[in-house]
Amino acid sequence: RNQELSSSGHCLVLSRLANAVTPLWRLPYQEQLQVKYESQRKILQTLASRLEELGIDAQKPGGLCCPLQPVVPSPIINGYRNKSTFSVNRGPDGNPKTVGLYVGTGRERNIVCVKANHVENIPSKHKQVAQCYEEFICQSPLDSCILFHEGGHWRELVVRTSRRGHTMAIITFHPQQLGQEALATQKALLKEFFTSGPGAVCALTSLYFQESTMTRCSHEQSPFQLLHGAPHIFEELLGLKFRISPDAFFQVNTAGAEVLYQAVGELCQATGDTVLLDICCGTGTIGLSLAHQVSKVIGVEVVEKAIEDAEWNAAFNGISNCEFHSGKAEAVLPQLLASWEDARPLVAVVNPSRAGLHYRVVRAIRSCRAIRRLLYISCKPEGEAMRNFLELCCPPDPRKKLAGEPFAPVLAIPFDMFPHTDHCELVLLFTR
Active site residues: 379
The answer to whether 251 is annotated as binding is: yes
The answer to whether 38 is annotated as binding is: no
- The 3-class SS string of the chain reads CHHHHHHHHHHHHHHHHHHHHCCCCCCCHHHHHHHHHHHHHHHHHHHHHHHHHCCCCCCCHHHCCCCECCCECCCCCCCCECEEEEEEECCCCCCCCEEEEEECCCCCCCCEEECCCCCCCCCHHHHHHHHHHHHHHHHCCCCECCCHHHCCCEEEEEEEECCCCCEEEEEEECCCCCCHHHHHHHHHHHHHHHHCCHHHHHCCCEEEEEECCCCCCCCCCCCCEEEEECCCEEEEECCEEEEECCCCCCCCEHHHHHHHHHHHHHHHCCCCCCEEEEECCCCCHHHHHHHHHCCEEEEEECCHHHHHHHHHHHHHCCCCCEEEEECCHHHHHHHHHHCCCCCCCEEEEECCCCCCCCHHHHHHHHHCCCEEEEEEEECCCCCHHHHHHHHHHCCCEHHHCECCCCCEEEEEEEECCCCCCCCCEEEEEEEC
The answer to whether 313 is annotated as binding is: no
Which residue ranges are tagged as binding site for S-adenosyl-L-methionine? 251, 301, 351
Which residue ranges are tagged as binding site? 251, 301, 351
